[in-house]
Amino acid sequence: MTLRYSLLAAAAALALPLPALAQTAPDVAAMRDAALDDSVAWDIVEGLTTEVGPRLAGTEAEARARDWAVARLRALGFSNVRSEPFDMPVWVRGEERAEVTAPFPQPLHLTALGNSGATGPEGLEAEVVYFPTFADLAAAPDDSLAGKIAFVSHAMRATQDGSHYGQFGQARRAGPAIAARKGAAAILIRSIGTDYHRNPHTGGTSFPEGVAPIPAAALALPDAEQLERILARGRPVRVRLVLTPQQIGPRQSGNVIAEVPGSDPDAGIIVAACHLDSWDLGTGAFDDGAGCGIVTAAAKRVMEAGTPRRTIRLLWAGAEEVGVFGGRAYFDAHKDEHHVLAGESDFGADRVWQVSSGLPASAEPLEQRMAAALAPLGIAWSATPAGGGADIGPLVRAGVPAIDLAQDGTRYFDYHHTPDDTLDKIDREQLQQNVAAWTTVLALAANAPEELAPNMAEMR
């Protein structure tokens, strides 16, 4: 059974309202259904991951990815395609090894966190102090970790909406700086993930001004649990750690921009965003090659249907993983332009199950048309206001309405920031359902007669 057939059958079985012609133009419904056979999104993510591969921000690989993106977007027929460069500090990975030296010697599988400090090539060995949660680490007395290796665990579980990431990700985002302030020589965390392969999850951490970076690494989940069992034996545990990453100074990254020009310059710009960079362990298929494929394929379908009223602008942001540098650079360069809506695809490639909006009350008729048109795809409308994604965050905080097409995140954190983030993890039919959803939203929003947002320049 195809995804298209099963979704329409499910809608009929549940008596879900199919869009009436008065609610959804028949050409939009036809565009939505045709997108369930889309091949453009797959071609983009397949090409990007095959011809470029890992794309760590600020490196030569990310520069090749920008060139690749510009060429591909021009070939697809988009207008005003260009790269907008910016500078950023760059961290690169080095050697990474760890082993328990006492009481039960054995190797551990780990990877350095972005912005981790280095042990030096000779490494360091120290006693491990265990914290079952991030809160336990935060509550530890000052200077209680002098010369020790902190080890922080957590209880993250898979959820459809990925909500555990915000809470349990604190161990990665803030844990190393807290451990450094308390005198730790290094920190290990249980990977912020949900799989049970010996694939550790990387991701960025930060050290505030005045806090010297310490070596910081994530253990694969089986290794983290193994270390917990060793510690539970009640004997002192020592670990030897070798991490040799480097900060190599400022380098160039950049955003790639492409447009479907609208017929009414005063009607505003809709931003459809993804991020082009990836971590260096996998090939960045789920995070976020798929997102770039999805929004681009959808925008292309709107473009091929005729000139929309509003301009649709694709933002393939650079340097998202290491600090959202691209999103901030885009805002700084374009904040005075009339943005009326922004959305971002950056949560893998599994099916969209829910949509929410931050549009004003005056745009409620548009929301109703969207809800009716998305229902046959098995997508429910949520009353929760949309929050937007990382790269469109500066726009949303400045008052631009967001729209969130929520993807099923049940398996996302099995692959997130790991060597397993590769093309084979993408389900093509679910990818196509994403394209159908985005096509529907962009087509309706780009041609809506309603006013969607005030001009930010006029608001200041």
Residue pLDDT tens, the chain, 460 long = 344 334 434 443 444 443 333 334 669 999 999 999 999 999 999 999 999 999 999 999 999 999 999 999 999 999 999 999 999 999 999 999 999 999 999 999 999 999 999 999 999 999 999 999 999 999 999 989 999 999 999 999 999 999 999 999 999 999 999 999 999 999 999 999 999 999 999 999 999 999 999 999 999 999 999 999 999 999 999 999 999 999 999 999 999 999 999 999 999 999 999 999 999 999 999 999 999 999 999 999 999 999 999 999 999 999 999 999 999 999 999 999 999 999 999 999 999 999 999 999 999 999 999 999 999 999 999 999 999 999 999 999 999 999 999 999 999 999 999 999 999 999 999 999 999 999 999 999 999 999 998 665 554 4
The pLDDT assigned to 456 comes to 55
The pLDDT assigned to 199 comes to 96
Domains 3-91+250-459 and 94-244 share a fold: no
The pLDDT assigned to 405 comes to 98
Sign of the C-alpha dihedral computed for residues 323, 327, 330 and 336 taken in this order: negative
CATH number of 3-91+250-459: 3.40.630.10
The pLDDT assigned to 12 comes to 39
Order of strands, sheet of 216-219, starting from the edge strand that comes earlier in the sequence:
106-108, 96-102, 238-243, 124-131, 149-152, 186-190, 216-219, 110-112
The pLDDT assigned to 9 comes to 41
The pLDDT assigned to 453 comes to 80
The pLDDT assigned to 1 comes to 38
Sign of the C-alpha dihedral computed for residues 131, 137, 142 and 143 taken in this order: positive
Sort strands 106-108 and 96-102 into parallel, antiparallel or unpaired: antiparallel
Interior angle at CA 368, CA 344 and CA 272, nearest 5: 15
Where are the domains positioned within the chain? Answer: 3-91+250-459, 94-244
The pLDDT assigned to 374 comes to 97
> At 406, is the secondary structure helix, strand, or coil?
strand
Distances (CA, A) of 230 to 102, 144, 274, 441: 10, 22, 42, 52
DSSP character for 319? S
CATH number of 94-244: 3.50.30.30
Residue pair 366/340 in contact by the 8 Å Cβ criterion: no
Strand runs labelled E in 204-268: 216-219, 238-243, 246-260
The pLDDT assigned to 455 comes to 62
The pLDDT assigned to 21 comes to 30
Q: Measured between alpha carbons, how far apart are the two ends of the chain, in Å? A: 53
Residue pair 111/218 in contact by the 8 Å Cβ criterion: yes
Q: What is the pTM of this model?
A: 0.93
Task: Residue 164: count other Cβ atoms within 10 Å of its Cβ.
Answer: 18
Q: Which long-range contacts (CB under 8 A, 24 or more apart) does 51-54 make?
A: 53/283, 53/284, 54/278, 54/279, 54/280, 54/281, 54/282, 54/283, 54/284
The pLDDT assigned to 16 comes to 41
Residue pair 170/179 in contact by the 8 Å Cβ criterion: no
> At 259, is the secondary structure helix, strand, or coil?
strand
Distance of alpha carbon 436 from alpha carbon 425, whole angstroms: 20
